[in-house]
C-alpha cells in the first residue's frame, strides 16, 4: 500500500492527530519506503534539556510541509510511501536502558529495508540508531552536520553522553570514520587538542570556518568523494544552524549558517545511499516562536527529498 499524508486542500492542516506531515500512524512496514520515528529523550544532555518534547514540536510544525520540493524537483509523497511509525519507548532517567529500547524499536525498520527518519531527542540517541542500522547494513558512512563534533571521551566520568556519541560509534565499529565527514564545528573548546580529536579518530572534519568558504556543491562533492557507495547515515543537529535562526536547542553556538544556508548544504547531498536520517537537539521550551521547529521539519523534508531522488 502506498501511504500518503492527508490532503491539506481537503481538510485543514490543524485538524486530525499530530503525525509527521499528517501521515498515517502505521506500524506495518509492508510496502513502506520511509518511517518517521519520534525518539523523545533528553536524559544525556550536558546543559539545557527539553529535547524530549522535540518530536511533538516537529510533528506540529511539519503539518505545513507540502509534497513537492521545487529546489530538488521531486514530489516526496508520490515517490515515497511514508508513515509515522510513532515514538520509541524511552525510559526517563535510565539512559542505557533507553538506548537498548530505542535500538530494539528501530532494528525491524532496517531489517524491512525501510529508511527511518528519527526526530530527536538529544544527540545521545544516535548511538542506538547507529547500533540498529549497523546490525543490518554494517559500519556506516556518517554525514554529520553539527556545531559540535561530539567526540569527547567522557562527561563527569561517564562515557555515554550527547557529546561523546561519535567517539563511542567508532569504538563500537558502528561507523567507518574513513568514509565519514563532520561539518560545522565551531565555538569555544576545552582545549586546543579538541580541534584535532575528530581527525585522530579518522573522521574528515570541516570546521565552520572552512565550511563557510565552500559552496554547498563543493561541500557535497567532498562528502560524496569520501562516502562513495557505502551505506550512509545523515545526522543533523539543529545547533548546526546559528542560534539567531535556531534558538531552541540545548547547547547553542554563535556563528553558524542561516536556516536557508543550512538547507542548501543538506539539499546538496544528492546521490548518497542513505539508510537512515535524524534531526536532533530541538528543545521546544527554548523555542518560544517555534522557528527552530520549522527548521527541523524543513530539514526532514530535505532528507526525504534526497531519499525520494535516490529511490526514484
Ligand atoms: Mn551539537
pLDDT value of residue 268: 98
In a domain, 5, yes or no: no
pLDDT value of residue 117: 98
Query: Does the pLDDT of residue 13 top 80, yes or no?
Result: yes
In the reported structure, the alpha carbon of residue 120 is separated from the centroid of ligand 1 by a whole-number distance in angstroms of: 12
In the reported structure, the alpha carbon of residue 122 is separated from the centroid of ligand 1 by a whole-number distance in angstroms of: 9
pLDDT value of residue 312: 73
Averaged pLDDT score across all residues of the chain: 97
In the reported structure, the alpha carbon of residue 223 is separated from the centroid of ligand 1 by a whole-number distance in angstroms of: 19
In the reported structure, the alpha carbon of residue 100 is separated from the centroid of ligand 1 by a whole-number distance in angstroms of: 22
What is the reported pTM?
0.97
- How many domains are contained in the chain? 1
In the reported structure, the alpha carbon of residue 267 is separated from the centroid of ligand 1 by a whole-number distance in angstroms of: 20
Query: Does the pLDDT of residue 27 top 80, yes or no?
Result: yes
In the reported structure, the alpha carbon of residue 161 is separated from the centroid of ligand 1 by a whole-number distance in angstroms of: 12
In the reported structure, the alpha carbon of residue 148 is separated from the centroid of ligand 1 by a whole-number distance in angstroms of: 4
pLDDT value of residue 36: 98
pLDDT value of residue 309: 98
Q: Which domain holds residue 36?
A: 20-311
Q: Is residue 201 very low, low, confident or very high in pLDDT (cuts 50, 70, 90)? A: very high
Q: Is residue 245 very low, low, confident or very high in pLDDT (cuts 50, 70, 90)? A: very high
In the reported structure, the alpha carbon of residue 237 is separated from the centroid of ligand 1 by a whole-number distance in angstroms of: 5
In a domain, 3, yes or no: no
Which is higher by pLDDT, 62 or 155?
62
In a domain, 53, yes or no: yes
In the reported structure, the alpha carbon of residue 288 is separated from the centroid of ligand 1 by a whole-number distance in angstroms of: 20
% pLDDT > 70, the chain: 100
**Is the Cβ–Cβ distance between 283 and 214 less than 8 Å?**
no
The CATH number of whichever domain residue 174 belongs to comes to: 3.40.800.10
pLDDT value of residue 48: 95
% pLDDT > 90, the chain: 97
In a domain, 131, yes or no: yes
pLDDT value of residue 262: 98
In a domain, 114, yes or no: yes
pLDDT in tens, 247-283: 999 999 999 999 999 999 999 999 999 999 999 999 9
In the reported structure, the alpha carbon of residue 240 is separated from the centroid of ligand 1 by a whole-number distance in angstroms of: 6
Q: Is residue 125 very low, low, confident or very high in pLDDT (cuts 50, 70, 90)? A: very high
In the reported structure, the alpha carbon of residue 114 is separated from the centroid of ligand 1 by a whole-number distance in angstroms of: 27
In a domain, 270, yes or no: yes
pLDDT value of residue 77: 98
Query: Does the pLDDT of residue 84 top 90, yes or no?
Result: yes
Distance, C-alpha 96 to centroid of its chain: 20
pLDDT in tens, 99-124: 999 999 999 999 999 999 999 999 99
Mean pLDDT of 190-200: 94
Query: Does the pLDDT of residue 51 top 90, yes or no?
Result: yes
In a domain, 79, yes or no: yes
Residue 209, judged by CB atoms within 10 A of its CB (0-12, 13-18, 19+), counts as: exposed
**b/e for 156-168, b at 16 or more Cβ within 10 A?**
eeeebbbbbbbbb
Mean pLDDT of 174-183: 98
In a domain, 133, yes or no: yes
pLDDT in tens, 54-83: 999 999 999 999 999 999 999 999 999 999
pLDDT value of residue 152: 94
Amino acid at each position: 500500500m502506498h501511504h500518503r499524508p492527508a490532503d491539506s486542500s481537503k481538510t485543514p492542516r490543524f485538524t486530525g492527530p499530530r503525525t509527521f506531515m499528517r501521515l498515517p500512524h502505521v506500524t506495518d512496514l509492508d510496502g513502506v519506503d520511509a518511517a518517521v520515528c519520534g525518539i523523545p529523550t533528553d536524559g544525556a544532555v550536558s546543559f539545557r534539556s527539553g529535547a524530549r518534547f522535540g518530536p511533538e514540536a516537529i510533528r506540529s510544525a511539519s503539518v505545513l510541509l507540502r509534497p513537492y520540493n521545487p529546489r530538488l524537483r521531486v514530489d516526496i509523497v508520490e515517490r515515497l510511501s511514508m508513515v509515522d511509525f510513532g515514538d520509541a519507548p524511552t525510559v526517563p532517567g535510565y539512559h542505557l536502558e533507553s538506548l537498548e529500547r530505542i535500538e530494539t524499536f528501530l532494528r525491524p525498520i532496517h531489517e524491512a529495508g525501510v529508511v527511518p527518519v528519527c526526530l530527536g531527542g538529544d544527540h545521545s540517541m544516535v548511538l542506538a540508531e547507529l547500533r540498529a542500522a549497523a546490525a543490518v547494513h554494517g559500519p556506516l558512512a556518517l554525514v554529520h552536520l553539527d556545531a559540535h563534533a561530539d567526540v569527547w571521551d567522557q562527561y563527569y566520568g561517564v562515557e555515554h553522553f550527547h557529546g561523546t556519541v561519535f567517539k563511542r560509534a567508532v569504538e563500537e565499529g558502528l561507523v567507518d570514520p574513513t568514509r565519514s565527514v563532520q561539518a560545522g564545528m565551531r565555538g569555544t573548546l576545552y582545549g586546543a587538542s579538541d580541534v584535532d580529536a575528530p581527525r585522530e579518530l579518522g573522521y574528515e572534519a570541516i570546521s565552520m570556518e572552512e565550511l563557510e568558504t565552500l559552496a554547498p556543491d563543493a561541500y557535497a562533492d567532498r562528502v560524496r568523494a569520501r562516502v562513495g557507495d557505502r551505506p550512509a547515515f545523515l545526522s543533523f543537529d539543529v545547533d548546526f544552524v546559528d542560534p539567531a535562526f535556531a534558538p531552541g536547542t540545548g547547547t547553542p553556538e554563535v556563528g553558524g549558517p542561516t536556516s536557508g544556508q543550512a538547507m542548501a548544504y543538506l539539499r546538496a547531498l544528492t546521490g548518497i545511499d542513505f539508510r537512515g536520517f535524524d534531526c536532533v537537539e530541538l528543545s521546544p521550551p527554548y523555542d518560544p516562536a517555534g522557528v527552530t521547529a520549522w527548521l527541523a521539519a524543513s530539514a526532514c523534508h530535505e532528507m526525504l527529498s534526497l531519499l525520494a531522488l535516490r529511490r526514484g
